[in-house]
A and B are shown apart, each in its own frame.
Chain A
């Protein structure tokens, strides 16, 4: 692992020790965050699975009812009937947060009836079909929201995992290695200083003895 290029002195050693401690703490926090994200993520996935089942079943029903209604009139008549829908629909978008991840939350708002077509030219089944569609919409919106949350959480999980790995396998090892390096270098300097002292001392002693 690459050692960080610093001067081996006591000042740097202290600094690096502090940095290692911080990095380790950050690593632990991020790891906890990852675990919690994962938990939320799995919950969302389960929820989205069952919701999608419900939506697809209901949608198939709506399509069937609509097809039956359609079969009683020509395509042109259907087009004409639906050309100017009087119903409007608004989506309110609010920001929510899951574990600090910003996710949009949708609320649906209907206004106006859907009786935009002549009652004489359209079959009764039409009304039933449209009722189906209207019931379906909130489910669809909920599904879109959950699937979007899954998407956003997945991105966040990936990011967090990358950070955790960078700390665990790159930053912390290299910090630790640098700390060892500086410690060893300092010890080495100390030893060489001591031998120097001993040498000087012995030279002095010899001189004293030679003088008699």
Chain B
């Protein structure tokens, strides 16, 4: 059993509250800074990295093999202060499609 930490990447307002409860926080000034912060992140220390959706979006586009498939840390997309844009859900939907070969309409909707 390993002891690891929890990290979060996001804008100041999104991250600040988490910082106070002990999450290692990495503040980005704008989503465009995401890749640089991601590269610099000491990834082996973290089991889970939470990333706000705007930053996650940029990372998806700009960083090859993101998110890594089988290793830690686990990347979790969460809504930023500005509200959810449904990215986390979309990611899961894509996996389901890949695994099943097809998706029956409405199966994933609430």
Determine chain A's interface SS by DSSP, over half rule. Answer: helix
Among A75, A78, A151, contact of B69 (Cβ-Cβ < 8 Å): A151
- For A210, what are the chain B residues with a Cβ–Cβ distance below 8 Å? none
* Contact-size category for A: 35 or more
A193 interface residue (CB < 8 Å to B): no
Closest CB of chain A to B1's CB: distance in Å? 5
B110 interface residue (CB < 8 Å to A): yes
Whether A147 pairs with B50 at a CB distance below 8 angstroms is no
Whether B1 pairs with A133 at a CB distance below 8 angstroms is no
Among A70, A94, A129, A157, contact of B99 (Cβ-Cβ < 8 Å): A157
Interface contacts (Cβ under 8 Å), in number, total 140
Which residues in B have some Cβ–Cβ distance to A below 8 Å?
Answer: 1-6, 12-14, 16-23, 47-48, 50, 69-70, 72, 74, 76, 78-79, 81, 83-84, 88-89, 91-92, 95-96, 98-101, 108, 110
Among A41, A49, A117, A147, contact of B76 (Cβ-Cβ < 8 Å): A147
Determine chain B's interface SS by DSSP, over half rule. Answer: mixed
A181 interface residue (CB < 8 Å to B): no
Whether A45 pairs with B17 at a CB distance below 8 angstroms is no
Known: A49-B110, A63-B14, A133-B21. A93 touches B2 (CB 8 A): yes
Q: In chain A between 75 and 120, which residues have their CB closer than 8 angstroms to a CB of chain B?
A: 75, 78-79, 81-82, 85, 87-94, 104, 106, 108, 110-112, 114, 116-117
A161 and B12 alpha carbons, distance in the complex (Å): 44
Whether B47 pairs with A134 at a CB distance below 8 angstroms is no
